[in-house]
Amino acid sequence: MGSSPSKPTESAQADHRRSFSEKNSYAPSELSESLAHLRISAPLSADGALTLGHVDDWEDVVAQSPKLQLSRTILNHTNIRETLVSRKAVIADAHVFNTEVDFKTNPITSQKSSGRCWLFATTNVLRYNIMKKLNLGDFQLSQAYLFFWDKLNKSNYFLELSIENADLPIDDRIVDYLSDELISDGGQWDMVVNILETYGVVPQAVYPESLHSSLSSPLNTLLKTKLREHSLILRDLSSSLRANSSLSEDAILQTLRSKKEELLKEVYIIMSATLGAIPKPDEPFTWDYLDKDGKAASWTGTSKQFYKTFAYDKYSPSDSFSLINDPRNEYGKLYTVDKLGNIWGARPVLYVNTQIDDLKQAVVKQIKAGQPVFFGCDVGQFSDRNAGIMDIALFEYEAAFDIKFGLTKADRLRTNESSMTHAMVISGVHLDPAGKPVRYKVENSWGPDVGNKGYFVMSDAWFEQFVYQVVVPKAFAPKELVKVYESGEKVVLPAWDPMGSLA
């Protein structure tokens, strides 16, 4: 907008930051004072319908505001996400960081048209150790390998839940929810640990991308259709078996699982045709490669051996856990989400809820120790994909429309305004002289053509509002939070809770 007067003053930007604070919620005394000053007036429309009188009043407001008239002149023919970018924020969000991990990986990865960000974030973390150990210049683990095993196990998980809930009405909320969110591409940290520990990892050259790993929607649509059909078959069978009073519960369960395995064969056939036959974790493969000096080398072993030999040193994925910041719920508690998982009977999804500063310190400690950090956030909020900036001050919406944003982080979770939508990797942080984070270097999985050659910058204020999860090895977590995690005493959130959203 050039020299337009819509740019907020310093005090306006401070107000903007305060509007995002959890402290913005009213205390009882403040609420009473607010109500005492509330002006009670009769509405223009007694029956609640919108009238032309409302429009006339609102037009009068615009007519008396040169700023709003200027916004109306400009914004009806320009993209607000481009026109209202704050120059001050762009300058402040420099892609410069004074503390970074000691090794840079290549290439920048791309999940393409799929929701596999959590698998890319995981493999982007694991390849740091692999590339250092093997002296590699460019390297990727096979995201498609993890995707295959996750999708197959999620199919089994859904059908096990269908058996478990077969006695519930078909329109029961949990049955309805599970039949909608049955095998998404997304996942959580504990779910990827399940896959890693059970199936290991392989280089991408051993199990390359296919069209349908990079473009997952057609495959997902087909699998969902079959799995919903399978679910109804199991429900009907369960009803028929229970009508026979001579059968024990164990006999019924074993019969249902036998039928389930027969149905899962169709899922495997579809997946192996569209993604490629999958290497088994107990069968050796041979990987020939060139190191960064051009020297040829070869390795032979199983996927589980590759994982345990190269993917980590001191801090194994299985020894790491999720810190979350969810202001709706009590801090210092362990949480899980009902019916959420991928491998049936394996490690559950667990979160330790704590103050946002604990998440920040976990990041700083890991970066200083040379460890990249897996984290989950709501990437679409106040961010610019092309510039690679995530900052709550990035857009001048409040100044241009004469509005204020009043939702707190807890409010956004309660009203479906925000949730954990994306997983990425933090590989650097810029600290002020007092050692407090100012901004973070983020490795995304959207290819090298966005951001700063694939890297994003995240402001500390954005971190506070839209980062929900940081994965931390126990060695870098506060002892009291490790104790909470190891206690196993968990609060179970409903399946549809926003903490059950899959990055």
- Give the residue carrying structure tokens 């290549």: 106
Is the pLDDT score of 29 beyond 80? no
* Residues contacting residue 289 through CB under 8 Å, at least 6 positions apart: 134, 136, 203, 205, 296, 297, 298, 299
Query: Which amino acid appears at position 222 of this protein?
Result: L
Angle between helix 189-199 and helix 143-164 axes, rounded to 10 deg: 110
Catalytic-role residue among 117, 124, 129, 430: 117
* Alpha carbon distance 201, 304 (integer Å): 6
**Span 468-484, mean pLDDT?**
98
Q: Is 54 a catalytic residue?
A: no
pLDDT tens-place string over residues 239-296:
999 998 799 999 999 999 999 999 999 999 999 999 999 999 999 999 999 999 999 9
DSSP code string of 95-112? S--SEE-S----SPPB--
Q: pLDDT category, 34, cuts 50, 70, 90?
A: low
Length of the chain: 503
Question: 300 to each of 153, 289, 297, 334, how far by Cα in Å?
Answer: 27, 12, 11, 41
Its pTM stands at: 0.92
Is the pLDDT score of 397 beyond 50? yes
Catalytic-role residue among 16, 212, 230, 422: 422
Do the beta carbons of residue 297 and residue 137 sit within 8 Å? no
Superfamily per CATH, domain 99-493: Cysteine proteinases (3.90.70.10)
pLDDT tens-place string over residues 40-73:
889 999 999 999 999 999 999 999 999 999 999 9
Cis amide prior to 107 (ω within 30 degrees): yes
Phi and psi for 12 in degrees, rounded to 5?
A: -65, -40
Q: Is 117 a catalytic residue?
A: yes
How many CB atoms are located within 10 Å of the residue 341 CB?
22
Is the pLDDT score of 398 beyond 70? yes
Q: How far is CA 178 from the centre of its chain?
A: 19
* Alpha carbon distance 17, 21 (integer Å): 7
Residue 351, classed as helix, strand or coil, is strand
Residue 245: what pLDDT? 79
Residue 31: what pLDDT? 53
* Pairing of the two strands 383-384 and 373-377: unpaired
Is the pLDDT score of 101 beyond 70? yes
Higher-pLDDT residue of 11 and 227 is 227
- What whole-number percentage of the chain has pLDDT above 90? 90
Is the pLDDT score of 363 beyond 90? yes
Q: How far is CA 479 from the centre of its chain?
A: 26
Q: Is 106 a catalytic residue?
A: no
Residue 139: what pLDDT? 98
Catalytic-role residue among 156, 194, 353, 444: 444
Domain ranges of the chain: 99-493
Handedness of CA 111, 116, 117, 119 (dihedral sign): negative
Residue 23: what pLDDT? 42
Residue 149: what pLDDT? 98
Q: pLDDT category, 32, cuts 50, 70, 90?
A: low
* Alpha carbon distance 1, 24 (integer Å): 30
